Chain A
């Protein structure tokens, strides 16, 4: 049996330790407060495409079995801190996602998330660019809207193209039956299979996501009058690295989106998830205008080290746990 050994080499283990220290140093030098929030909680996200790992906290004690979840990101707790007046904060910790394992996925991973009060998503993209610049000096940085990246590689406007046209392109890209897929699924498939592999070297920001994929971002009408979400994603050498928002602060709109997620989960026969009422209460009490971004630290390590799988940059990836 050799899988008792770590997947990471000792050189890379030391490099990983240095990078974690550098990440903390970057934020400390900017007077951003480090917070450590729970990874275990009684509710979790309602996202239609993110599954939470559940845990029975009191299962063996004879008390009522309160089900709980490992958190898929520190976002909700951090927003509650922001609403409580914390000011700028960052969190470097673990996040968990059910059913995600592969070369670029591990059910448990290290996530860096931070929030800037009074900033919009473009200011935050600039700061993320500076962070990558300190770790990978000389990286090229490109910014392109979600619409333009689809026009460039697929010659369609993702916001206005007919569903039938998206489905046809998705079937071609997947070479299998995708004819009855939703708009969101077709766009995800086309982005992952066609666009992502063609993105430029270095850091590429894609912003102004379709409104149906706004998640927890504010929406607005862009210059062409298309309703888009103020969400961005960052890709480093064609690997998805980070996801950020100009945060939605409207509690009622957030509640409406959660209800929509729940409905979609029922339709897709996915487990029902209770809405985090404490988060909604925090938004009602007032979340400051802010932008936030979450970054996969293990994937960042992969790019810095030129590794081809997460197993080469994590002490013990899932196959060794």
Chain B
């Protein structure tokens, strides 16, 4: 793989650090007028999601990580693995529970997700920003109470639990922002 020097560090660049693939979040150039130049770099470890800060001497380099973000369709779960497919090539990839991580609670079959491949196998899965899911369990709805005010927990078909307004009922379809886990509104029945 190629090497990237500190002056090529940009947000989103994927590099290897201490044997793990990392994504660069920020790179700040620091230099005393007469002194050595540094790069203060914030990185996220793509395996552990941990964010760390490191300082490099200007001109130091890191190896590029063989990491690629690819849009893939979620097909099914066979009990051990979650299966995703590249829509163009129909190539299928098996993701472990660890790689699917928190995305698990939002995934419906056929959803198009961003699957991050590291050395060709799924490292992490990012669900669509918005999903539409059915409520399977919640306290009975209070009809007419559509004004602002209270909320109640509702369990969705994928297992996620979100806060919803009181008037919603079991069987209702809602729209959720997966980045915040927040209820966005009712969705039209499919």
By the criterion CB–CB under 8 Å, are A100 and B36 in contact? no
Q: Which residues of B contact A240 (CB under 8 A)?
A: 32-33
| Inter-chain contacts of A185 with B (CB < 8 A) | 35-36, 57
B145 in contact (CB, < 8 A): no
A99 touches B7 (CB 8 A): yes
Contacts A173-B55, A174-B54 given: A192-B35 contact, CB under 8 Å?
yes
- Interface footprint category on B: 20 to 34
Assembled-state Cα–Cα distance A174/B32 (Å)? 15
Taking the nearest CB of chain B, how far is it from the CB of A262, in angstroms?
Answer: 16
- A49-B35, A188-B32 are known contacts. Are A176 and B58 too (CB-CB below 8 A)? no
Max chain A Cβ within 10 angstroms of own Cβ: one of B35, B38, B54, B55: B35
Residue A27 interfacial (CB < 8 Å): no
Contact B55 A174 (CB under 8 A): yes
Residue A102 at the B interface, CB < 8 A? yes
The answer to whether B36 and A49 touch across the interface, beta carbons within 8 angstroms, is yes
Contact of B52 among A104, A175, A181 (CB under 8 A): A175
* In the bound complex, CA of A184 to CA of B32 (Å): 11
Contacting pair B35 A193 (CB below 8 A): no
Confirm or deny: A243 has a beta carbon within 8 angstroms of a beta carbon on chain B.
Answer: yes
Cross-chain contact A102 with B54 (CB below 8 angstroms)? no
Q: Flag whether B172 is at the interface (Cβ < 8 A).
A: no
A197 vs B85: C-alpha distance when bound (angstroms): 49
Do B34 and A100 have beta carbons less than 8 Å apart? no
Known A175-B52, A176-B56, A193-B55; contact A50-B29, beta-carbon cutoff 8 A: no
Among residues of B, the one whose C-beta sits closest to the C-beta of A294 is: B33
Within 8 A of A (CB), among B3-46: 7, 28-38, 40
Contact A192 B58 (CB under 8 A): no
Whether A215 sits at the interface, judged by CB under 8 Å, is yes
**Which of B29, B34, B36, B53 contacts A102, CB < 8 Å?**
B29
Chain A interfacial positions (CB closer than 8 Å to B): 47, 49-50, 99-105, 173-176, 178, 181, 184-185, 188-189, 191-193, 213, 215, 233, 240, 243
Whether A50 contacts B54 by the Cβ 8 Å rule is no
List 24 interface pairs A-B (beta carbons < 8 Å), by A numbering.
A49-B31, A49-B34, A49-B35, A49-B36, A50-B34, A99-B7, A99-B37, A100-B29, A101-B29, A102-B29, A102-B30, A104-B29, A174-B56, A185-B36, A188-B35, A188-B36, A189-B36, A191-B32, A192-B32, A192-B35, A193-B38, A213-B34, A233-B33, A243-B33
The residues of B that contact A50 with a CB separation of less than 8 Å are 34
- Cα separation A103 to B7 with both chains bound (whole Å): 14
CA distance A131 to B54 in the complex (A): 37
Please name all residues of chain B whose beta carbon is closer than 8 Å to the beta carbon of A47 when the two chains form the complex: 34
Chain A residue at minimal CB-CB distance from B29? A102
Shortest CB-to-CB span from B92 to chain A, Å, is: 39
User: Which residues of the other chain, A, contact B36 by a CB distance below 8 angstroms?
Assistant: 49, 184-185, 188-189
B interface, CB within 8 angstroms of A:
7, 28-38, 40, 52-58
Would you call the interface of chain B mostly helix, strand, loop, or mixed? strand
Contact present for B31 and A100 (CB under 8 Å): yes
Additional 14 contacts, C-beta under 8 A, given A101-B29, A174-B55: A49-B37, A99-B37, A100-B29, A100-B31, A104-B29, A173-B55, A174-B38, A175-B53, A181-B57, A184-B36, A189-B55, A191-B32, A192-B30, A193-B38
- Beta-carbon nearest neighbor of A191 in chain B: B32
Does A189 lie within 8 Å of B38, measured CB to CB?
yes
Contact between A192 and B52 (Cβ–Cβ < 8 Å)?
no
Docked pose: A173 CA to B56 CA in angstroms: 11
Tell me how far the C-beta of B35 lies from the nearest C-beta in chain A, rounded to whole angstroms. Answer: 4
Complex: A58 Cα to B28 Cα, angstroms: 37
The residues of B that contact A99 with a CB separation of less than 8 Å are 7, 37, 58
Q: Tell me, rounded to whole Å, the shortest Cβ–Cβ distance linking A5 to chain B.
A: 22
CB nearest to A209 among chain B residues: B34
* Measured CA separation A47–B40 after assembly (Å): 23
A105 CA / B39 CA spacing, docked (Å)? 12
Contacts of B56 in A (CB 8 A): 174, 176
Check A184 against B35 for contact (C-beta < 8 Å).
yes
Q: Min CB distance, B38 to chain A, in Å?
A: 7
Give bound CA distance, A100 to B36, whole Å: 11
Please pick, from A103, A173, A174, the residue contacting B29 in the complex, using a CB distance under 8 A.
A103
A229–B14 CA distance with the chains assembled, in angstroms: 43
Q: How far is the CA of A34 from the CA of B30 in the complex (A)?
A: 32
Chain A contacts of B33 at CB under 8 A?
A: 233, 240, 243
- Taking a contact as CB atoms under 8 Å apart, the answer to whether B38 and A176 are in contact is no
Report the separation of the CA atoms of residues A47 and B33 in the bound assembly, to the nearest whole angstrom: 11
Measured CB to CB, the closest approach of chain A to B20, in angstroms, equals 14
Chain A residues lying within 8 Å of B38, measured Cβ to Cβ, are 174, 189, 192-193
Cα of A233 to Cα of B52 in the assembled complex, Å: 31
Residue of A174, A184, A215 with highest tally of chain B CB at under 10 A: A174
